[in-house]
Amino acid sequence: MGNGLRRGDFENAFHIHNTGQPLPQNGRPRTHDPHYIQKGLDWIEKLK
C-alpha cells in the first residue's frame, strides 16, 4: 500500500485499506460502500 501511495495510486490504496485486496481489473470496487473510494479521493482534494 505504501508504494501505491508514493506513486499516487490512491484508488488502489483506498480499496486495499478497505478490503485487503487491490482494485479489481474491471474497476468495480468490492468495498461495502461503493462510493468509499470516491469519498476518499474527494477528501484528498479538499485537503490540498
- How many domains, the chain? 1
Residue 6 belongs to domain spanning? 2-47
CA dihedral (22, 25, 30, 31) positive or negative: positive
pLDDT > 90 in the chain, percent:
85
- Residue 10, pLDDT score: 94
pLDDT tens across 5-17, in order? 899 999 999 999 9
Top pLDDT among 12 and 4 is at 12
**Residue-wise over 24-48: b if at least 16 C-beta within 10 A, else e?**
eeeeebeeeeeebbeebeeeeeeee
- Residue 28, pLDDT score: 93
CB neighbour list of residue 9: distance below 8 Å, 6 or more residues apart: none
pLDDT at 1 over 70: no
CB neighbour list of residue 44: distance below 8 Å, 6 or more residues apart: 10
CA dihedral (10, 26, 38, 36) positive or negative: negative
